[in-house]
């Protein structure tokens, strides 16, 4: 479902797509944008779940429909990025015109090759000189290869630049606050399921199922327009019991001691891992209500291994 999220108008569902289960989210983004464009409903900004977003989609959405896709792009998961001192891809200067990369030690690449990865995406492989890397005293921060040189795999220029920029942006509070608006669509799905029977498929077959989804969205829009006209305000986003518990544990108040006391005694499993069981209270109107374990199935259970 795609809905509007302006603050000065009702949040209306403007597109519904129904697919069979194995279709990935990212395979639908281009279709959603094309459908919105056909109806002249293309948004300036589209807040999307991470599953719908990759660098190629962000670039093509901007070029094809002038839509700024906002959603978390994949973080750099290389060991160089996760180790605080490693030379990750952002440490290299790329000169796209002369097809050359320069490493933090000032060395330039010896190879530059364009190819397709296993998923059919264009990518660029660059490689530094073997002898130069072998003599480099920064080598432990750069590569774990025993004898080989440093190699880097990049996306094509537009996607590479966008990935680097987005990775920096999405680490900021400003970006998170902007993206936070997307939480509203979870409320829409919840409304559809709880109030309009969206969870249960009334028909067999994709076309009829899609019909049900479209009619449900239509009914939700009617209800929302009515709420808007009668001055009913938006519901606040709920915080899960666990999130509220986390807040309580961090805040200095008397109830914390009760919550903390629910931490079970540490246990050691056969592999030597230590675990504790947390019993989570139900939170009603901001108050933690703690019931005996196993007597109230609404209690949550989290096992922390460390």
Cβ atoms of 211 and 182 within 8 Å: the answer is: no
Options 107, 209, 256, 277; binder of ligand SF4; rule CB under 6 A: 107
Neighbouring-strand partners of residue 108? 102
Residue 60 tokens, joined: 């093509």
What are residue 132's phi and psi, to 5 degrees?
Answer: -65, -45
Residue 137 to residues 52, 63, 132: CA-CA distances in angstroms? 42, 43, 10
Least CB distance to ligand SF4 at residue 86 (A): 10
What pairing do the DSSP bridges indicate for beta strands 274-279 and 122-128?
unpaired
Stated as kind and residue range, the H or E segment containing 59 is helix 55-65
101 binds ligand SF4 (CB under 6 A): no
Cβ atoms of 33 and 67 within 8 Å: the answer is: yes
Least CB distance to ligand SF4 at residue 300 (A): 47
Least CB distance to ligand SF4 at residue 112 (A): 14
Least CB distance to ligand SF4 at residue 137 (A): 8
89 binds ligand SF4 (CB under 6 A): no
In the complex with ligand SF4, which residue's Cβ is closer, 138 or 178?
Answer: 138
The interface with ligand SF4 within residues 118-147 (CB under 6 A) comprises: 128, 132-133, 136, 138-139, 142-143
Least CB distance to ligand SF4 at residue 32 (A): 41
Query: Which part of the chain contacts ligand SF4 (CB under 6 A), choosing from 26-34, 39-47, 102-110, 283-291?
Result: 102-110
131: nearest Cα among 118, 148, 119, 146: 148
Query: Which part of the chain contacts ligand SF4 (CB under 6 A), choosing from 47-55, 103-111, 172-180, 286-294?
Result: 103-111
128: nearest Cα among 75, 145, 230, 158: 145
Which positions lie near ligand SF4, rule CB under 6 A?
A: 87, 103-105, 107, 128, 132-133, 136, 138-139, 142-143, 150
């Amino acid at each position: 479902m795609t809905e509007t999220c302006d603050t000065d108008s009702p949040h209306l569902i403007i597109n519904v797509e129904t697919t069979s289960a194995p279709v990935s989210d990212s395979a639908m983004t281009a279709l959603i944008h094309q459908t919105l464009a056909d109806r002249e409903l293309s948004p300036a900004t589209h807040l999307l779940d991470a599953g719908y977003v990759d660098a190629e989609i962000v670039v093509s959405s901007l070029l094809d429909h002038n839509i700024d896709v906002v959603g978390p792009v994949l973080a750099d998961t290389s060991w160089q990025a996760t180790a605080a001192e490693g030379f990750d891809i952002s440490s290299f200067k790329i000169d796209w015109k002369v097809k050359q990369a320069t490493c933090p030690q000032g060395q330039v690449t010896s190879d530059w090759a364009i190819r397709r990865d296993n998923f059919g995406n264009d990518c660029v492989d660059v490689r530094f000189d073997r002898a130069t890397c072998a003599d480099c005293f920064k080598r432990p921060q750069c590569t774990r290869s025993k004898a080989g040189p440093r190699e880097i795999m990049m996306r094509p220029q537009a996607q590479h630049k966008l990935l680097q920029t987005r990775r920096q942006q999405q680490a900021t509070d400003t970006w998170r606050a902007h993206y936070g608006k997307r939480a509203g669509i979870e409320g829409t799905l919840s409304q559809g399921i709880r109030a309009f029977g969206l969870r249960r498929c009334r028909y067999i077959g994709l076309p009829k199922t899609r019909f049900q989804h479209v009619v449900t969205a239509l009914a939700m829009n009617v209800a929302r327009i009515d709420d808007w006209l009668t001055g009913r305000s938006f519901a606040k986003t709920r915080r899960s019991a666990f999130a509220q518990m986390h807040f309580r544990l961090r805040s200095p108040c008397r109830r914390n001691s009760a919550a903390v006391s629910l931490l079970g005694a540490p246990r050691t499993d056969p592999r030597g891992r230590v675990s504790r069981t947390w019993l989570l209270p139900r939170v009603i109107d901001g108050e933690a209500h703690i019931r005996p374990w196993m007597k109230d199935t609404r209690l949550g259970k989290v096992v922390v291994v460390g």
